[in-house]
Amino acid sequence: AQSVTQLGSHVSVSEGALVLLRCNYSSSVPPYLFWYVQYPNQGLQLLLKYTSAATLVKGINGFEAEFKKSETSFHLTKPSAHMSDAAEYFCAVSSAPGGGNKLTFGTGTQLKVEL
């Protein structure tokens, strides 16, 4: 069965600093991996999706994630944090054939951005 583990339930960075949110996966087949973001009082929004086409995946709002098979990792990064990035971030892996939307989520990482 596929699973993901997010390291760090809370991460705090200064505005303008690098954002690094960690996600490790476990999968018996080549995984389809996702990052979602949830802003306060909103639904989850897709940031990016890994489909094996390229190991470095660029998403919305300046975020990107790199798939590293040797490390079973799919960490999310952004070079320079903005106050508007404060939100909860979820890593997920598809449990459906072909990368469908039956997703297994991690426990989430709350990102705080400080002045």
Which residue, 24 or 95, has its beta carbon nearer to other proteins?
Answer: 95
Given its phi and psi angles, is residue 51 left (phi above 0), alpha (psi -120 to 50 degrees) or beta? alpha
Q: Nearest approach, Cβ of 36 to other proteins (angstroms)?
A: 8
If one asks whether residue 90 binds other proteins (CB under 8 A), the answer comes out as yes
What radius of gyration do the chain's Cα atoms show? Answer: 13
Q: List the x/- string, 95-114, binding to other proteins by CB under 8 A.
A: xx-xxxxxxxxxxx------
Q: Which residues bind other proteins (CB under 8 A)?
A: 36, 41-46, 90, 95-96, 98-108
